[in-house]
Amino acid sequence: MKIALITENSQAAKNGIIHDALTAEAAPFGHEVFNYGMYTPEDAASLTYNMNGLLAGILLNSKAADFVVTGCGTGMGSMLACNAMPGVFCGLVIDPTDAFLFSQINAGNCMSMPYAKGFGWAAELNLQDCFRKIFENEPGVGYPKERAAIMATNRDILTEMKAASCHDMLSVLKNVDQSLLKSAIAGEKFAEYFYANSQDEEISAYLRGL
């Protein structure tokens, strides 16, 4: 699985801590982590939580990534922005129980975490535990197990509702503020990682055209 890490400007100084924790837990399961930044608060390309959502939508809908890890100060802004995108199902994960239940019940493709609120002593251990709980089990198995079937039915209904209420990603890219879009894909490693992994030529072509 290809996992994308996206960090916004207010928490950019923690990118290395988050990346190390994510890689430590994802790599043993055979997953590859792509760090889309921000890498430091001084990066020329600055991401807001709205851009996190736009970038998550691009990566997941193009299949350049299979799962996105993002967040902001509280995790809520990034979660809302991600869930505004077609095909993105983002959960707010604060602790390992959240991570386990989100994986088992919702089987989402994106998680948002708070990197300021509650981010204190041994925060990196909580990060590792959360990432482990996201990746160590097959998603969507259900919890409790006897409710797995109804949970799967509800996930399908939610997917259909989102498809009915959202534009496709290419339409989003064409209609969103173009300066916001250009800023969202201006990261140092975006072109290197994205174009090598994207499986949607229409999305790739539109972004190249910018």
pLDDT digit string (tens) for the chain, length 210 residues: 999 999 999 999 999 999 999 999 999 999 999 999 999 999 999 999 999 999 999 999 999 999 999 999 999 999 999 999 999 999 999 999 999 999 999 999 999 999 999 999 999 999 999 999 999 999 999 999 999 999 999 999 999 999 999 999 999 999 999 999 999 999 999 999 999 999 999 999 999 999
68 close to 82: Cβ distance less than 8 angstroms: yes
Residue 1 pLDDT: 97
Task: Say yes or no: domain 2-209 is CATH 3.40.1400.10.
Answer: yes
pTM over 0.95? The answer is yes
Could you report the per-residue pLDDT of 3-15, keeping only the tens digit for each? 999 999 999 999 9
Strands 32-35 and 2-5: parallel
Residue 12 pLDDT: 98
Q: For residues 197, 203, 206 and 210, what is the CA-based torsion angle, rounded to 10 degrees?
A: -50
What single-letter amino acid sits at 138?
E
Residue 94 pLDDT: 98
Residue 134 pLDDT: 97
Residue 3 pLDDT: 98
